[in-house]
Structure 1
């Protein structure tokens, strides 16, 4: 019985450590549209520099967003900044 309890306890510890490591590796990123970016976003490298400078973000990406009424949409690109979620 003691061997069985020790085995189950060890297995539980290994699963707990594995679950913790998985959460740290995943590391979710949260995004926010840059309110300091003016005009269309054409180059993600410039957007990334902008996000790092102004917001201390990890990186930035030019991403398409929809603007307008239900029947008439204009596709445009805006600068979105990505940082680790807190």
Structure 2
């Protein structure tokens, strides 16, 4: 009987820890137009521009324009 209660208690603790781990998520990224980018957007160049010049996490082309992404 005691071992059954112990098993149930440990199982409950395991599920409690597992549920709390699932709630941890990565920060959401928000998008804004690059501050100094001109002309046609090239993916790799846009990414480098956003990292080095705008000091954001990464850059990506969207509808022909360079957008920088940051944690919001």
Task: State the TM-score, normalized to the length of structure 1.
Answer: 0.59
Q: CA separation in 1, counterparts of 2:32 and 2:52?
A: 15
**Residues 10 and 45 (structure 1), Cα distance of their counterparts in 2 relative to 1, 3 Å cut:** closer
Hey, what does 2:35 align to over in structure 1?
Answer: 35
Q: Deviations over 1:45-80 (max 9, x none)?
A: 11111111112222211210xxxxxxxxxxxx1111
Hey, what does 1:51 align to over in structure 2?
Answer: 50
Gaps of 5+ in 1: 65-76
**Residues 16 and 79 (structure 1), Cα distance of their counterparts in 2 relative to 1, 3 Å cut:** same
Hey, what does 2:23 align to over in structure 1?
Answer: 19
Gaps of 5+ in 2: none
Q: Paired residues, what number? A: 68
CA root-mean-square deviation: 2.5
Task: State the TM-score, normalized to the length of structure 2.
Answer: 0.67
Q: CA separation in 2, counterparts of 1:36 and 1:13?
A: 46
Q: CA separation in 2, counterparts of 1:50 and 1:10?
A: 45
Hey, what does 1:60 align to over in structure 2?
Answer: 59
Hey, what does 1:74 align to over in structure 2?
Answer: none
